[in-house]
């Protein structure tokens, strides 16, 4: 297994990282935030030895370092999904690289399908909690005690403090936000209509194919997490519809400026 510390050292040699506290992972079609970074310098994932590579359209594959106001930020523009064939442990590796760079607070964004007609395409949903239905976990395998315990608690994975702050920032910017439960499936197929019904009755508000492995690895190593989903579509069959990747990218693109504004102001505001 590749040592995250070696990757972090290499990144530090190539980018002027000082004391970075915040990292942002951008979901499908949400890369607009990357343009908000001042003094931004990026490394393509290909330029980082040992770093995994992305393969999905809408996911660029670059690590950007820059500033939002005076706050130093690292941004992963392009994420790793289990459905691409990445091992769950690869996602833990990426999060531990961030940890070794100094990151204490992780902001994750994604596109997700609505499991309830109350949650509409275009809505932003602050993730209150998740249900891991992927059958995979990034912490499987020998535990590295240096990062966290064998059996980490996951019941406060999405920091209440950060969620409350995000709601306040949204109100100030006049951006409407909801709060809900993110239901993770492995993908890559969209759900059947029966799955959508089942996932809704199991407590999910939105379904997606990412984020949860990152959050589990981040919580394991002691990071505070904020998650925000863009609802890009009604999940299959909810309104007699068939979702497509194109539709999710287009809807995420429409919401991208609102998401960027929210995340930017969230980072600028004192905790």
- The residue from 81, 86, 130, 220 that is catalytic is 81
Report in angstroms how near the CB of residue 11 gets to ligand HPA at its nearest.
Answer: 29
Contact residues for 251 (Cβ-Cβ < 8 A; gap 6+): 29, 111, 121, 122, 230, 231, 232, 233
- Subset of 4-63 contacting ligand HPA (CB under 6 A): none
Which has the closest alpha carbon to 79: 178, 206, 218? 218
Which has the closest alpha carbon to 224: 106, 126, 139? 106
Report in angstroms how near the CB of residue 191 gets to ligand HPA at its nearest.
Answer: 6
66 binds ligand HPA, rule: CB under 6 A? no
183 binds ligand HPA, rule: CB under 6 A? no
For the chain, state the CA radius of gyration: 17
- Report yes or no: 128 and 180 within 8 Å, Cβ to Cβ: yes
Question: Is 59 noted as a catalytic residue in this protein?
Answer: yes
Among positions 90, 109, 248, 260, the unique one binding ligand HPA when judged by CB under 6 A:
248
115 binds ligand HPA, rule: CB under 6 A? no
The CB density around residue 40, as the number of other CB atoms within 10 Å, is 14
Which has the closest alpha carbon to 78: 35, 28, 14, 11? 28
Query: Candidates 4-12, 33-41, 91-99, 105-113 — which segment interacts with ligand HPA by CB under 6 A?
Result: 105-113
The H or E element that residue 107 is part of is strand 105-114
113 binds ligand HPA, rule: CB under 6 A? yes
Closer by beta carbon to ligand HPA, 42 or else 256: 256
Question: Is 83 noted as a catalytic residue in this protein?
Answer: yes
Position with the least CB separation from ligand HPA: 113
User: Cα(24)–Cα(27) distance, rounded to whole angstroms?
Assistant: 10
Closer by beta carbon to ligand HPA, 158 or else 190: 190
111 binds ligand HPA, rule: CB under 6 A? yes
User: Cα(151)–Cα(154) distance, rounded to whole angstroms?
Assistant: 9
- Report yes or no: 241 and 233 within 8 Å, Cβ to Cβ: yes
Is the dihedral angle over the CA atoms 23, 29, 32, 35 positive or is it negative? positive
Query: 3-state class of 209 per DSSP?
Result: coil
Among positions 25, 235, 261, 262, the unique one binding ligand HPA when judged by CB under 6 A:
235
Question: Is 111 noted as a catalytic residue in this protein?
Answer: yes
- Subset of 203-222 contacting ligand HPA (CB under 6 A): 207-209
Q: Which residues bind ligand HPA (CB under 6 A)?
A: 111-113, 190-191, 207-209, 232-233, 235, 243, 248
Catalytic residues: 28, 59, 81, 83-84, 111, 209-210, 233, 245
């Amino acid at each position: 297994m590749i040592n995250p510390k070696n990757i972090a050292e290499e990144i530090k040699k190539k980018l002027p990282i000082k004391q970075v506290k915040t990292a942002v992972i951008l979901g499908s079609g949400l890369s607009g935030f990357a343009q908000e970074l001042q003094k931004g310098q990026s490394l393509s994932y290909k330029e980082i030895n040992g770093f995994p590579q992305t393969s999905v359209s809408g996911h660029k594959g670059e690590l950007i370092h820059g500033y939002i106001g005076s706050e130093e930020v690292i941004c992963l523009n392009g994420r790793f999904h289990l459905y691409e064939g990445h091992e769950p442990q690869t996602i833990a590796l990426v999060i531990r690289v961030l940890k070794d760079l100094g990151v204490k607070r992780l902001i994750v964004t994604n596109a997700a399908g609505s499991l309830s007609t109350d949650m509409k395409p275009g809505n932003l949903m602050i993730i209150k909690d998740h249900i891991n239905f992927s059958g995979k976990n990034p912490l499987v395998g020998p535990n590295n005690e240096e990062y966290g315990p064998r059996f980490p608690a996951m019941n406060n994975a999405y920091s209440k403090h950060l969620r409350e702050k995000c709601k306040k920032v949204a109100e100030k910017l006049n951006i409407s936000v909801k709060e809900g439960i993110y239901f993770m499936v492995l993908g890559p197929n969209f759900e059947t209509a029966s799955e959508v019904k089942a996932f809704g009755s199991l407590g999910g508000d939105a379904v997606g194919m990412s984020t949860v492995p990152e959050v589990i690895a981040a919580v394991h190593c002691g990071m505070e997490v904020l998650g925000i989903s863009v609802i890009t579509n009604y999940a299959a069959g909810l309104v007699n519809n068939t979702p497509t990747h194109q539709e999710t990218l287009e809807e995420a693109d429409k919401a991208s400026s609102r998401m960027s504004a929210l995340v930017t102001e969230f980072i600028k505001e004192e905790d």
